[in-house]
Amino acid sequence: MADTLWTRRGSAILLAGGMALSLFGASVARAEETIKVGILHSLSGTMAISETTLKDAMLMLIAEQNAKGGVLGKKLEAVVVDPASNWPLFAEKARELISKNKVSAVFGCWTSVSRKSVLPVFKELDSILFYPVQYEGEESERNVFYTGAAPNQQAIPAVDYLMKEEGIERWVLEGTDYVYPRTTNKILEAYLKAKGVAPEDISINYTPFGQSDWQTRVASIKAFGSAGKKTAVVSTINGDANVPFYKELSNQGLKATDIPVVAFSVGEEELAGIDTKPLLGHLAAWNYFMSIDTPENKTFIDQWHAFTKNPKRVTNDPMEAHYIGFNMWVKAVEKAGSVEPDKVIAALPGIEQKNLTGGTAKMLPNHHITKPVFIGEIKDGGQFDVVYRTEEPIPGEAWSKQLEGSKDLEADWVKLNCGNYNTKTKKCGGA
For residue 318, give every residue at least 6 positions away whose Cβ sits within 8 Å of its Cβ, in sequence order, or none: 50, 54, 110, 132, 133, 148, 267
Q: Is the pLDDT of residue 393 over 80?
A: yes
The residue-averaged pLDDT of 151-169 equals 96
Confidence check: pLDDT of 48 > 80: yes
> Are both 100 and 15 inside the same structural domain?
no
CA dist., res. 405 & res. 358, Å (int): 36
C-alpha–C-alpha distance, residues 18 and 35, integer Å: 28
Instruction: Give the model's pLDDT for residue 240.
Output: 84
- Total domains in the fold of the chain: 2
Is there a domain that residue 418 lies in? no
Is 94 part of a structural domain of the chain?
yes
Q: Is residue 64 part of a domain?
A: yes
User: What distance separates the 2 farthest-apart alpha carbons in the chain?
Assistant: 110
Are residue 19 and residue 42 in the same domain, yes or no? no
Q: Are residues 14 and 60 in the same domain?
A: no
Q: Give the integer Cα–Cα distance in Å for 307 and 301.
A: 10
Task: Write down the pLDDT at residue 273.
Answer: 67
Domain-embedded: residue 387: no
User: Could you tell me if 22 and 60 lie in one domain?
Assistant: no
Task: Give the mean model confidence (pLDDT) for residues 286-315.
Answer: 97
Judgement on whether residues 48 and 94 belong to the same structural domain of the protein: yes
Residue 71 lies in a domain: yes
* End-of-domain residue from the set 355, 370, 385: 370
Q: Residue 27's pLDDT band (boundaries 50, 70, 90)?
A: very low
Identify the helix (H) or strand (E) that includes residue 101: none
**Distance in angstroms (rounded) separating the CA atoms of residues 205 and 260:** 17
Residue 204: phi and psi, rounded to 5, are -120, 130
Start-end of H helices in 290-403: 295-308, 317-336, 341-347
- List, for residues 28-39, the tens digit of each pLDDT value: 444 469 999 999
Domain region containing 105: 34-149+293-370
For the chain, give the percent of residues with pLDDT over 70: 92
Residue at a domain's end among 351, 370, 389: 370
Closest by CA to 283, choosing from 384, 196, 351, 189, is 384
Q: Answer yes or no: do 4 and 91 share one domain.
A: no
Q: Are residues 76 and 114 in the same domain?
A: yes
Spatial separation of the C-alpha atoms in residues 37 and 59, rounded to whole Å: 10
> Which amino acid, residue 373?
V
Specify if 143 maps to a domain: yes
25: how many CB neighbours lie within 10 A of its CB? 10
Arithmetic mean of pLDDT, 8-14: 43
From the list 371, 382, 176, the residue with the least C-alpha distance to 268 is 382
Q: What pLDDT, on a 0 to 100 scale, did the predictor assign at position 9?
A: 41
**Considering the domain boundaries, does residue 420 fall inside one?**
no
Ranges 1-5, 175-179, 364-368: which has the least confidence: 1-5
CA-to-CA distance for 97 and 78, rounded, in angstroms? Answer: 11
- DSSP 8-state class, residue 369: B
Q: Give 309-367 pLDDT, tens digit per residue.
A: 999 999 999 999 999 999 999 999 999 999 999 999 999 999 999 999 999 999 999 99
CATH number of the domain that residue 118 is part of: 3.40.50.2300
Helix, strand, or coil (residue 51): helix
- Beta carbons of 378 and 387 less than 8 angstroms apart: no
Where helices occur in 68-125 by DSSP H, the ranges are: 87-95, 112-125
Q: How far apart are CA 202 and CA 174, in angstroms?
A: 11
Q: Please, are residues 269 and 302 in contact by the beta-carbon 8 Å criterion?
A: no
239 torsion bin: left (phi>0), alpha (psi -120 to 50), beta (else): left
Q: Are residues 134 and 118 in the same domain?
A: yes
Asked if 52 and 74 sit in the same domain, the reply is yes
Question: Looking at the domain assignment, is residue 330 inside a domain?
Answer: yes
DSSP letter string, 274-319: S--GGGTT-EEEES--TT---HHHHHHHHHHHHHHT-TT----HHH
Same domain, yes or no: 350 and 366: yes
pTM of the model: 0.88
Q: Do 351 and 317 share a structural domain? A: yes
In terms of DSSP bridges, do strands 231-236 and 202-207 run parallel, antiparallel, or are they unpaired? unpaired
pLDDT single digits (tens) 303-323: 999 999 999 999 999 999 999
Encode 200-225: b = buried (16+ Cβ within 10 Å), e = exposed: ebbbbbbbebebeebeebbeebbebb
Residues 78 and 143 in one domain: yes
